[in-house]
Amino acid sequence: MTQLSVNINKVATLRNARGENMPDVQRFAMECERLGADGITVHPRPDERHIRHDDVFMLRPLVKTEFNIEGYPSDEFMDLVLKIKPEQVTLVPDAPGDLTSHEGWDVVPNMEFLTGIVDRLRDAGIRTSIFVGTDVENIKAAARTGTDRVELYTKPYADLFPKDPEAAVAPYVEASRAAHRVGLGVNAGHDLNLENLEFFHKSLPYLNEVSIGHSIISDALYMGIGETISRYKQCLKSK
């Protein structure tokens, strides 16, 4: 069954708006796990505008499922994850001021850099995932870095889905198959929601994990986090 990792960045954004500890990020993460989440994702950015470094340290002993830390592998980020040792690190090519991820890695020009990062993480016993688009040759290049998985950037799918679901998902089906052929696990994330997730999951072979934050937190405002996680998990039931 495809795993659901809940990205809790937006909970930290709400907390930071008042400068106090409400909502409590750590408590929320534990509640997500209790209610069925298969993992917790955070993306600590350099300006700490949502998840802070001290959040990551406090979460590490609390998260009992999979802890996934996303980010650009700067020296500061690498120092953090090598101290924390999460189960998975997802490497994204975000510039420091980006509001959100908006593209995957162009692997070949960054091959030496990414290979060195993956080597360091593997030596620390951390699974790696490289954030990519659906280009098959780029995915093959990602495999040559030694990464364990790729995470497919799904905003193009989400944008096209309302008009043409089959056309929207077709490149992702091909990308997932290509990743599997070269020995990579497949994660996916960005703008997946209750309208488009079930179709994506049913269409895609070899999908190990989805990481979803903004939509889950938004839906939880209306339905509560328990009902929200239940509905997202329902979308990921076995094909």
Cα 101 to Cα 56, 61, 87, 224: the distances in Å are 20, 27, 21, 26
> Alpha-carbon distance 12 to 136, whole Å?
35
Catalytic residues: 43, 70, 190
Helix (H, G, I), strand (E, B) or coil at 29: helix
Q: What is the identity of the amino acid at 95?
A: A
Q: Which residues contact 3 (CB under 8 A, 6 or more apart)?
A: 38, 39, 66, 208, 209, 210, 236
Instruction: Establish how many alpha carbons lie within 13 A of residue 2's alpha carbon, considering only the half-sphere containing its beta carbon.
Output: 30
Instruction: Give the C-alpha separation, 115 to 143, whole Å.
Output: 10
CB 124 within 8 A of CB 148: no
Cα-Cα-Cα-Cα torsion 103, 109, 114, 116, nearest 10 degrees, comes to -170
CA-based angle 118:214:227, to the nearest 5? 115
